[in-house]
Structure 1
Amino acid sequence: MENNIRITNDKVEVVYLPFWAGCMVFGSGLMTVGGLFILFYGVPTSGILRAFFGIIIGIFGTLFFGSILLKVISVLLSGRAVFTIEDGELKGRKKAIPIREIEDIYWGGASSIKYIKVKTLNNKKIKLSTYNLVSEVPVNHVIETYIIPHASPDLKSNWEKRKQSQELNKISITK
């Protein structure tokens, strides 16, 4: 966990590990190549029905995994920090939110593509993507250690409620 958190002077960064980035690039790259292989090799050499399904699978596979590959590569080229806490602000790659203005912060997205959703006191909803390069454990640690102590009372109560409900879910699952 501590490998994902870089602390310097007045700055806390959540960074990805090269191994995770390599896995994401390899996996999404392999699936993109697989989609292209189906489109350009499998479809022309097969019958009508198989070609029809090959076109559908190839196009969706190439578009989905290709977009993930491009996003991950853009993150890799922009630096190792997925998000940063500096000068009282939570900063993503493109957005910065003052910590005092955060009303709620929680995980969103499907289990395969996770991101952090931030709701401000002005009812703005901002999405900070982790690009699946950082797990929930170090992110939650940074939120609890560096954001919650400086946060608004609304965020503190919302975070505690969510934490308690997760603990109750864990207890009910183990029974």
Structure 2
Amino acid sequence: MDRTDVGLKAVAKALTDVIGPSIDPKDPLAKEQLKLAVDYIEFVRARYDDIHARERFDLKHYSRMADAIGKSGLPSSEASRLAGARDEAARTLADVEATTPQVRTAAMELAAVVADVVQKAPSFGSEVRHKIEIAVLDATDERVAMERAWYLPMGFDPTPQLAGDLAELLKG
């Protein structure tokens, strides 16, 4: 049984109860840094169980973006390269035993190919470039919605009631 949550809780408590009182009261920066560290540990505790789902979201996100970009009329060499990366991503998504690091690596590899194609978009002609731009913009909405929900526990969102449901967004 995984005890990561218990360990993180113990670290946060030790920082708060043992380290905190030993900080020089005349050092506000140290107090602030301690609070930030404890808050981030609590954030990790809140999101720990969702990390694999987040990595799968990333892979699905880049797969959908690659699908849309692949329909933009790319030159055949770029279309083939993108299709190969997309196919590899699909194999990883279909593998129920794919580990979190494997899913993360597949997402990063696909993201790198997508980013390279996007950077080359101006050389593909205005119509193809425009379709690629639309694909990127369309994909941005789901990314922003998920990131907003993901970081909600940090308390920075001025309108948290408008954030989407993380579990639903991660299903992507």
Q: Which has the higher strand share?
A: 1
The higher-RCO structure (CA 8 Å, 6+ apart) is 2
Higher helix share: 2
Shared fold per TM-score greater than 0.5? no
The TM-score normalised by the length of structure 1 is: 0.30
- Normalised TM-score (structure 2): 0.31
